[in-house]
A and B are shown apart, each in its own frame.
Chain A
Amino acid sequence: MKSIHFAEEHEQLRTQVARFIDKEVRPAAPAWEEEGMVPREVLQSMGEMGLLGIRYPDAFGGSNAGPLSTVVFAEECGKSGFGGFSATVLVHTDMASPHLVHAGNREQLDRYLGPIIRGEQITAVAITEPDAGSDVAGLRTRARREGDSYVLNGSKMFITNGVHADVYFVAARTNPEAKGASGISMFIVEKDAPGFNVGRQLQKTGWLCSDTAELVFDECRIPAENLLGEENKGFYSVMQNFQNERLVLAAMALGECERGLEVTWDYVRGRKAFGGVLSDKQGIRQRLAMLEARVNAAQQFLYHVGWLMEEDIECTKDVSMLKALCGELVNEVMYTCQQFHGGMGYIQESEIERMVRDARIHSIGGGATEVMLEEVAKRSLQ
């Protein structure tokens, strides 16, 4: 039992996810890295296991579980060692589809949520633009009402699942006069909406089996009933889900840390050097031991924040700290793990080489470290 907060069902979930990843992900994912996407059948198998609707109502096939279950799930995805796989799945479950569940009306839930939980329809969330990321208030994509439709114009950038998703949750400005955060609305856009195009698939440093796109909306017409939540109030629902996004990314990062340390302990135990093995060297073993200590400490913090969210206790400051901490820590861990792999760590056939590339995004995506620290500092100075 890793934490006082976990119950039996969390451990069982952990075991099942770990087994799935061991059997269905790790052996197959190198090919997905080449192809640039996770096969849809894999996501459907995860849907069958109930992993794509952990927190969603059981009426739609979900499991009504809480944030701690999500934490376990994201950690185990992270442990796969394939950041692109984790990103594909976790964007669908915890960054895109929550917009529907939080703000969707009965008709919208009936139409989309079942297929989303079964993995038949994969989702993406399109907020970031070439000139607006963490600063959501700076969005330029416009949506204007025309009779029974909305017409969207603009472009979105760095959209995970952007190439192959079926349903997109898109933020656009509905009131051009309103300044900053107000005047933004969320919309449901299906992949075949007229005027919606995938501009290009973006080539990334890591996360190679995750598809990332620039999206273009050129007089993209969607039915008016695809407005998600209230008009002009979209910013608040975006903000609401940011907490969960940060929790999930921290959990994923720590899963990666655990895996990175595991493969590195293994490597230094076997690698011969100077008449012994690398793990005989105190300089090496102690640095790994300290990293392991820091990862364990961060894990306990993660579980605590998961519990705060489970109890519905306001924790913006905590979750921002956690995201900043883990996004940086995973990079430190991977740097050192690669260092101790020596030349092998620079070769693409070693697991750690990929994990180093996959880790880099953690201090950037889903709220850069600097942005997270401002969330913390603002509150410390209050």
Chain B
Amino acid sequence: MKILVPVKRVVDYNVKVRVKADGSGVETANVKMSMNPFDEIAVEEAVRLKEKGVAEEVVVVSMGVSQCQETIRTALAMGGDRGILVETDDELEPLAVAKMLKGLAEKESPDMVILGKQAIDDDANQTGQMFAALMGWGQGTFASEVDIQDGSIQVTREIDGGAETVKLKLPAVVTTDLRLNEPRYAKLPNIMKAKKKQLDTLSPADLGVDTTPRLKTVKVAEPPKRQGGIKVADVAELVDKLKNEAKVI
């Protein structure tokens, strides 16, 4: 089978994000960027399926600025076979990404698309679901276990109450949760080899997608600074304050 893995370039998880001075967004100039950790888990799962002989080809795709090539190369160094970048400087919303993924899926005809359940920058948690809906495919979101059987996938999903198991007909969409696996380190010899792997570039127009944002960002602000605490004399005062000041009980 063929697996398509979409990956997103995001501000590195170790970076303390700062709001731009004009409140228009988050500062990304001179900030370390890396692959969305949930997508890393998706790459790992796809590569493991290939190593097990279940998958024949792992195609890694990303959308955005030309530097997204670095993110794709990292996935190729982990074991992906080739990459596709849909290059654009536009800000991309989940729906636009899902539409472009649809265009790519129609070109590539994968049996499975596996991606992170959300990206750690905007935490939207929408792309996988929107893409599944556009394709009319089954979806197994928040996967903590993926088991491929003849023509179907069994996905164990993390839900509020515990775990749920669903069975999907192929082709299907899987979004990954943290417990699915622990991604490997890219080995240096593989980083060197990944330089030579095929990486094609397309434009949103090649896929017939208009990426114009549907939403307008009004303002981005830092969360309010935490206030210092106070000491209360006794339980009665505590209960009183919780009831009347904090209004939480």
Contacts and interface: CB of A to CB of B under 8 A. Distances in A.
B188 A49 contact: yes
B185 A12 contact: no
Nearest to B188: A50
B186 interface: yes
- State the majority secondary structure of interface residues on B: helix
Contacts of A15: 34, 74
A65 B188 contact: yes
B14 A22 contact: yes
Size range of the chain B interface in the assembly: 10 to 19
Contacts of B188: 13, 16, 49-51, 54, 63, 65, 69
A8 interface: yes
Contacts of A19: 185
Contact of B187 (A8, A50, A65): A50
B130 interface: no
B139 interface: no
B69 A8 contact: yes
Contacts of A64: 192
B197 interface: no
B30 to A, nearest CB: 10
A42 to B, nearest CB: 13
Given A15-B34, A16-B185, A8 B195 contact: yes
Contacts of A69: 188
B70 interface: yes
A110 interface: no
B194 to A, nearest CB: 8
Contacts of B74: 12, 15
A61 B189 CA distance: 8
Contacts of B77: 12
A312 to B, nearest CB: 20
A119 to B, nearest CB: 13
A374 interface: no
A50 B189 contact: yes
B185 A13 contact: no
A48 interface: yes
B1 interface: no
A121 B158 CA distance: 44
A9 B188 CA distance: 9
Nearest to A14: B32
B26 interface: no
B191 interface: yes
Contacts of B190: 50
A50 B185 CA distance: 10
B73 interface: yes
Task: With a 10 A CB-CB cut-off, give which of B69, B73, B187, B189 has the most chain A CB atoms.
Answer: B189
A49 B188 CA distance: 6
A20 interface: yes
Interface in A39-66: 48-51, 54, 58, 61-65
A20 B192 CA distance: 18
A11 interface: yes
Contacts of A49: 185, 187-188
Interface in B199-242: none
A300 to B, nearest CB: 15
Given A20-B185, A22-B14, A50-B187, A11 B192 contact: no
Given A8-B70, A8-B73, A13 B189 contact: no
Contacts of B185: 16, 19-20, 49
Interface in A1-25: 8-9, 11-13, 15-16, 19-20, 22
A63 B69 contact: no
Contact of A63 (B34, B70, B192): B192
A65 B193 CA distance: 11
Nearest to B34: A15
A16 B14 contact: no
A329 B134 CA distance: 58
Contacts of B186: 12, 16
B191 A16 contact: yes
A12 B73 contact: yes
A75 B192 CA distance: 20
A60 B30 CA distance: 38
Interface in A150-167: none
A265 to B, nearest CB: 11
A211 B187 CA distance: 27
Nearest to A24: B185
Interface string B167-191: 0000000000000000001111111
A295 to B, nearest CB: 16
Interface in B58-90: 69-70, 73-74, 77
A114 to B, nearest CB: 13
Task: With a 10 A CB-CB cut-off, give which of A9, A12, A62 has the most chain B CB atoms.
Answer: A12
12 contacts: A8-B195, A9-B194, A12-B186, A16-B185, A16-B186, A48-B187, A49-B185, A49-B188, A61-B189, A64-B192, A65-B192, A69-B188
Given A16-B186, A48-B187, A64-B192, 5 more contacts: A8-B69, A12-B73, A15-B74, A50-B190, A58-B189
Nearest 7 Cβ contacts at the A-B interface: A50-B188, A50-B187, A63-B188, A50-B189, A63-B189, A12-B191, A49-B185
